[in-house]
Amino acid sequence: MDRIEAMKVFVAALDEGSLAGAGRRLARSPAAVSRAIALLEQHIGAELLHRTTRTLKLSEAGERYASACRRILADLEEAELSAAGERVAPRGTLTISAPPISGEEILRPILDAYLEAYPEVSVNLVLLDRYASLVEEGIDVALRVAELPDSSLVAVRVGGDVKRVVVASPRYLAGHPPLLEPADLGRHRIITTTHFGHDAWVFPPAAGSAVSRSVHFKPRLVVNSVRAALASAVDGHGVTRLYTYHVAERVQDGSLKVLLRNAEPSALPVHLLTPQGRISVPKVRAFMDFAVPRLRAEFSRLSVQAQAFQG
């Protein structure tokens, strides 16, 4: 087995979480998988993986080497596809990351249709409440709701009216002090998620000021699930802050009320991101061409929905 093939085995083991999983994915025996890892470790002179009976954990050297392997394999794929030119149809596994709710409810139906249109492509959809490093984590495309820093990533805008809103249930509000300005949050039970700030929320400057307002608090509930935070707020257990598309249905049916409307931050853009060079890979190009107009239509619909309940 040459080093490139061994790298593929190594990366597959990381993606699958086990040597056995890598063997199943690549149709290799357990012995062949172990030999591939051993070949790499012997070549670089360092242990790459800490193995137990159930888990794999990267060593410090393994973390650095894994990032390099992903870059090398991606570059190799791009070189082969470039040489083949237009004769290559979309195929292979497309890895996409997205926030959990937008990934499940907005992107997933589009992916289902994409897979029907391109039978030679498989998709690995990774739902994350954090920003993934696309190159280091082997991600082809990411759906991201945020202002983007300058980077080498290719960004295609698919929406631009997603706001962060503070909400609570009428039942909760009936039994607690009025919440008329951000400073009032200190008198309330806060339900927050790690993605939205677990001990402070930032608001635009007050009238006549140029300094953003940062309101610190001690949350009663911190949870890494938007669905859990939403459900807790609907059940009357506190105040939470989420995106407009998270809460739209609950606001429309009266389960939640939008608060602090005069202190809402500016709307955030939504982009599809892909590393430089990946856009030329047929499976990525086909996905971008397929998904962008559909995502724009869906986020436009959600924007109209949000304006209706905020108006």
In order of start, what are the domains of the chain with their CATH numbers? Answer: 3-84 (1.10.10.10), 92-158+268-309 (3.40.190.10), 164-263 (3.40.190.290)
269-286 in b/e burial notation, b at 16+ Cβ within 10 A? bbbbbbbebbeebbbbeb
Question: Quick one: pLDDT at residue 178?
Answer: 92
Listed in order, strand segments (DSSP E) in the chain are 49-51, 56-58, 92-98, 121-127, 141-145, 154-162, 164-168, 190-193, 200-203, 213-216, 221-223, 239-243, 257-259, 268-274
CA dist., res. 48 & res. 33, Å (int): 14
Question: pTM for this structure?
Answer: 0.70
Is the Cβ–Cβ distance between 61 and 44 less than 8 Å? yes
Question: Quick one: pLDDT at residue 257?
Answer: 94
> What tokens were used for 225?
């699930």
Is the Cβ–Cβ distance between 297 and 277 less than 8 Å? no
Give the distance between the most distant pair of CA atoms in the chain: 70
Q: Helices 30-44 and 3-16: crossing angle, nearest 10°?
A: 110
Helices (H), 17-59: 19-26, 30-44
> What tokens were used for 43?
């070549």
CA dist., res. 153 & res. 278, Å (int): 10
Is the Cβ–Cβ distance between 214 and 130 less than 8 Å? no
List per-block mean pLDDT (blocks of 10 residues) for the chain, which spans 311 residues.
86 84 87 90 88 76 86 79 66 90 92 95 88 81 84 84 91 94 92 84 83 89 92 96 90 92 87 85 92 92 71 52
Total Cβ atoms within 10 A of residue 77: 15
